[in-house]
Amino acid sequence: MPDTPIRARIALLGYEGVQMSAVLGLIDLLEIANRYGKETGAGQILHDVLRDGALPDTRFDAVWLPPNLTGQRGAADTAIHTWLSDRHQAGALICSACAGAFWLGHAGLLDGRPVTTHWALEPEFRAAFPKAQLHAESILVDDHDIVTACGVMAWVDLGLHLVKRWLGAEVVSQVCRHMLIDPQGREQRNYRSFRPRLDHGDTRIRDLQVWMEANVTGDLSVTALASRCALPERSLQRRFTRATGLPLSTYAQELRVEKARGLLERSQMPVNEICWAVGYEDPSAFSRLFRSVSGLSASEYRKRFRIR
């Protein structure tokens, strides 16, 4: 067989605090893809792990910012920001996974661009980069020259995306079978948890949140909650949204769906009973709401996430 063509060269940026399991995992995935790419003649993807020291002026087809588990966000890494901007200007595809998107944002690459990151980082990311178009429900967002993936394990989705880009769908299929990966039908909202803000400093609203948490089957209408707080309805709505970031009605829905997730994961209760246990009387309406929030039907969610 003639020499296998080199289709792309990717830089994996091993910055301080990087999640090395993601770096090594992506290297393994690319090596497996290269094995099939060589067998089929589809080509090869070279990779370089860039660690400490000066970043090279080498031409790369793609640069990847992996996740980190240290809480770092890269605001002070100005040398990396400049290098990323220069690589982008030179035509490299710029990629990130999870918190790696913060480095792209600090490099000025995300203004006006659709992007994703881990759902738990959504408030922090929106505050840091208000001009970015965050799609926190998405596993992966491909905006041509910027590709972002959501969570610490979304390097798998990103790796398959890059393999498909340069080696084709047939090699992706072979890699998936080899690594027992099923990349189809996933959305970040399938995994998302509702984590309400409780550190906002408004004690009356916080007391109401605690009461709602313990009384999801109670009357959570604006009228009833305003009466409980001894506040006018409009005042309660304004204060609640300002404190939690969510309108009261949306908050109540998210809270009830989160309670339903827990019951689906930990119990054998029929879906209809779970509907009633979280404060809904109409199972059909509950089913529509659950799917709209989680991206799955209640039975699909239980099948995927049940704790056995």
Q: Could you give all domains of the chain from N- to C-terminal order, each with its CATH number? A: 6-190 (3.40.50.880), 203-305 (1.10.10.60)
Percent of the chain's residues with pLDDT above 70: 96
Q: Is 107 helix (H, G, I), strand (E, B) or coil?
A: coil
Structure confidence at residue 199 (pLDDT): 81
Asked whether the beta carbons of 189 and 224 are under 8 A apart, the reply is no
- Indicate the average pLDDT of the chain: 90
Half-sphere exposure of 228 (CA within 13 A, CB side): 17
Residue 2's pLDDT is 56
| Confidence category of residue 191, pLDDT binned at 50, 70, 90 | low
Spatial contact of 137 and 62, defined as CB atoms under 8 Å apart: no
Count CA atoms within 13 Å of residue 121 on its CB side: 26
Burial label, 18 (beta-carbon count in 10 A; 0-12, 13-18, 19+): buried
Instruction: Identify the pLDDT of residue 231.
Output: 93
**Hey, what are 96's tokens?**
């990130």
Within the chain, where are the H helices? 20-40, 78-89, 100-106, 122-128, 155-167, 169-179, 203-214, 222-229, 233-244, 248-266, 271-277, 283-294, 298-305
Cα separation, 299 vs 306, whole angstroms: 10
Distance CA 192, CA 130 (A): 21
The distance in angstroms from the start CA to the end CA of the chain is 50
Dihedral pair phi/psi, residue 283, rounded to 5°: -60, -35
- Residue pair 34/45 in contact (Cβ under 8 Å)? The answer is yes
The model's pLDDT over 85-115, given as tens digits with 9 standing for 90+, comes to 999 999 999 999 999 999 999 999 999 998 9
Q: Is the predicted pLDDT of residue 124 greater than 90, yes or no?
A: yes
Decide which of 188 and 24 is more confident. Answer: 24
Residue 1 in this model has a pLDDT that exceeds 80 = no
Contact indicator for 135, 102 with CB cutoff of 8 Å: no
Report pLDDT for 173.
Answer: 86
Q: Does pTM top 0.95 for this prediction?
A: no
Residue-wise pLDDT for 9-63, tens only, equals 999 999 888 999 999 999 999 999 999 999 999 999 999 999 867 799 889 999 9
Report whether 209 contacts 244 (CB < 8 A). Answer: yes
Higher pLDDT, 198 or 41: 41
> By percentage, how much of the chain surpasses pLDDT 90?
63
Phi then psi for 199, rounded to 5 degrees?
-105, 25
pLDDT category of residue 198 using cuts at 50, 70 and 90: confident
Q: How far is CA 84 from the centre of its chain?
A: 22
The mean pLDDT of 117-144, rounded to a whole number, is 91
Rounded to whole angstroms, how far apart are CA atoms 49 and 20? 11
What was the pLDDT predicted at 187? 67
- Give backbone dihedrals phi and psi of 180, rounded to 5 degrees, phi first: 55, 50
Strand partners of residue 44: 6
pLDDT in tens, 131-184: 999 988 888 898 889 999 988 788 898 999 999 899 998 898 899 889 988 766
* pLDDT recorded at residue 125: 96
Rounded to whole angstroms, the Cα distance separating 149 from 158 reads: 6
Q: Is residue 43 within 8 Å of residue 94, measured between CB atoms?
A: no
